[in-house]
Structure 1
Amino acid sequence: MIRTFRLVPADSTRKKASVTIKVFAEQISQPLRTAVVVIQSRTTGKSERFAVLNGILERTFLTPDELSIEISADGYKSVRRIMTIAVSPQGNRYEVDAELDPVPIVLTVMAVDNQTKQLIRDAHFTISGKTGKTTLLLTTDSTTGLAKTNLPGRGVYQLTSSATGYGNFTKSIRLDSAQSEARVMLTPEPVPDVSKVQALPEAVVTSTLSPSVDTVSAKPVGRGLIRTPTLRMPPVTSAALILPEKGKSVLLNSIYFEQSSAVLRPESTPQLNQLYDMLVRNPSTRIEIRGHTDNQGDFDANVQLSRDRCQAVVDYLAGKGIQKDRLKGVGRGPIDPVAPNNNEENRKKNRRVEFTTL
């Protein structure tokens, strides 16, 4: 028996609807490529799960329905959309734009003595994002010895820690879970060896100093002071900062940052502490910290970087107890060069931090 087959053209009047789902991370310019979409029909109760490819998912429906659409991704808050679709011969088109917010990270930080393994309860922490745009100052709870904060989302952060009697420590931490913990091991600073202490000879100080500021006993002699012999540890690596005249800028030439970042490097600590000591000795003094860059790169980005670096200095001083209303940070970017930006040596001079009294 011979069978005959006939091709039937597709029904061009068949009704349908298409739904396009686009998934973004925080803002519409950042497609999220690893999301999952669950579509449930409220008519039939049937649900299907789909992986999003390249931030977009397209589905076709042949019958009208009311859909529940749940969109989720690891590390982000899920969203749900309810929509009613109708079908037509022309093919109705629907589009869903979903912007997912990151799940905030709850970070707990603690500092531990590297030798005794005991919690350090007076530690301070500074944490900033990898771009340096977000800088937070954390102080431990004196009861628990822990510091807690909420961070905007997963990623790599720079964590700097300090405590009295310990050296500063900076490290990068990657935070991936909603509840994260960072433990910092601090090493005690070495105790001076008094057997190596030597006496200073008598010396005449040619500038007038306040006895309350000087670290040795002194008596007035004309316009200066004669200091009596005292003891100190050799060698002297740097002199204490002296309060300048109002409006006069003082260069802080030993403050260093990570490249293109507002993260302070550990070798900045001695001069930061000098600035702190000066403010302690002069409790009524207010200062303005000014940051400068060279003229390489984007102008606005340079100004923002100089602002962030000033804020990092302010945060360090505030973390050691200086009231914030005594500190002002001003980012000047490349506006005030001290040398032509025509070679690397001169550009290095223009990348600087200064302070002046207010």
Structure 2
Amino acid sequence: MRILLFLLFFLISSLSFAQKTFWASKVVAFSSEYSDALTTKENRAIQVLGRPNKLPQIGMSACAWQPLTQNNPQEEFIIVSFDTLMSIQQVAVAENYGQGCVVRVEAFDEFDNLKLLWANKSAPTGEVGKMLNIVLQKPTPFKVRSIKVVLNTNRIKGWSQIDAIGISQATTPIKATINLAKNLPTELVKENLGKSVNSEYREIAPVISPDGKTLYYTRWKHPDNLGKDKNQDIWYSELQGDKKWGAAVLFPAPINNNEHNAICAISPDGKTILLNNVYLPDGTMAKGVSMSTKSSKGWDFPKALNIKNFKNKSDYAEYSFSPNGRVLILTGQFKETQGGKDVYLSFLQADNTWSEPQDAGSVINTAEDESTPFIAADGKTLYYSTRGLSGFGSNDIFMSRRLDDTWLKWSEPENLGPIINTPEWDGYFSISALGDYAFFSSQENAIGEEDIFKFKVPESIKPDAVVQITGGVYNYSDKKPISASINVQSMTDKDTVCVTYDPQTGDYKLMLPAKKSYTISASKKGFMSISEPLDFTKETNFKEIKKNIYLYPIEAGQRITLNSVFFEQSKYEILPSSYPELDRIVSLMRENPTMEIMLEGHTDNQGDWNANLLLSKQRVDEVKKYLASKNINMSRIQTQGYGSTRPVSSNNSEEKRKLNRRVEFMIIKN
């Protein structure tokens, strides 16, 4: 039976391998490649590598190999190799433009002998482009090391381009396909937001607030725009009680001025916006990106982000930022580029400057222009627009997911499908933290030149679920709200989120990816900062949580439970997840050099009474040692273990016993 199963598995695996298409992975040699002073990797020989970037559409593309000249009486050629060495029965050449110029296809065997596979004996058909499928009568009697494609560009007037070269052991013709997102519904409906939002003019660049209740966007040449030239200005519309969008309102100064204004992104609390261009004091603009924060007095004058070596060669750029505010996603053309305008990443530094833009890599970027990036509230799912990947029209909208914490590894981009992507230019995708509706710009079925549309997001292209936390920070003694800094630390990775709470501008608001655990704390000079755990590991859908944080004034007699100090079960070794909490105590004692404290250990009533008493003392002694290791004088720290003698809850359930297993911190002297 095992032998039969093995043979069946072997046959299925062999059949799958035989049907697989291997696309060229390395350029071995070529006769020439196009280049000029304005290009980098566009139309170079390397563009022939990988799966087709243009087909099944036809036409010219920067993502295809193009010989240096057109109508060359001398033959041109390119030789490519593959991630395999095998006998083949098919070669596919993606002729996206200038179809009919391929005159020969040859193969090098494993000993580098050149073998003719096919010669073109037909006259050109007049087609612009297509997939040339060369299916052999039988498999090659040798293993193919590389393929040589020979062109006579004089056969077709104008430029000739090759999009990709593939090989297979199958006889079924290889086709170029669009990498569609999985499980897209056939009845997906896109809805024009109507005349309250759109007009006969051009509406672009929608940015939906994380709570889905305010839509910001840009209007081009609208008669109510500022300035004599009526350049693009920012407008917004608010969702009404009947779920319809209210009349558009012009965003106030100083955000709108006489120049080109556009909002790129908004923070989870809605109090910080990212703006295209640098606002100069004289009212003019420069290349770059700015940030404005809302206070009780309104939006402040936009401040430029200081990005190291920001030298964008392109006239255009778009921006987005991660929900934690520490990663800037931008498009532009810098010294490292896949060709044209790429998606880049810049990281916030300790001195509040931003790192030099780093190319997001060839999985995301192509030799064509990439534009309008938007990172979802999960900090993981990226939507952007490009014409450098097989699609349905001009620019299409694609989705990719971040694979690790470097922000440089991404999943293969997936096309959002023909209902969203049209034959025209499509881009500016934005989705709320709820993940219910997405918004984008499109010309198809527009009231004017270009409109804002929305659609209900299918599961397969939704971002991962997030949890929205809102609340305030209060003085524990008098229960009055106080301004403070709020910090959230992931327990599973190094991700942190920091926001400022101001009672005059409303509750703080955070969006945190679900399926993870965190600690949250607030800090303010003169108060003790103690963290609390947040466990969202079982959350799979969007959820709203109200979380008020209380700060304890630094005064003698003040007692606090250290909720985020953890130990191994029945042991006294401190777990690393406790360090952030303990480091906050270190900072507090450094800021208050005369402070003396008492650390008290408590357990539940499970197990031997004497053992629990000893364990509680050992645990607080370990905490004391940790503080001393951070140069806190041990004479300032007293310890006491109480075992199970001072419960704060009953011990009749595990949830209640957890409350009794604790370390408490009390100020003896301030």
Which TM-score tier does this pair reach, normalised by the shorter chain? Answer: 0.3 to 0.5
TM-score (norm 1): 0.36
- Higher RCO, 1 or 2 (CA under 8 Å, sep at least 6)? 1
TM-score normalized by the length of structure 2 = 0.20
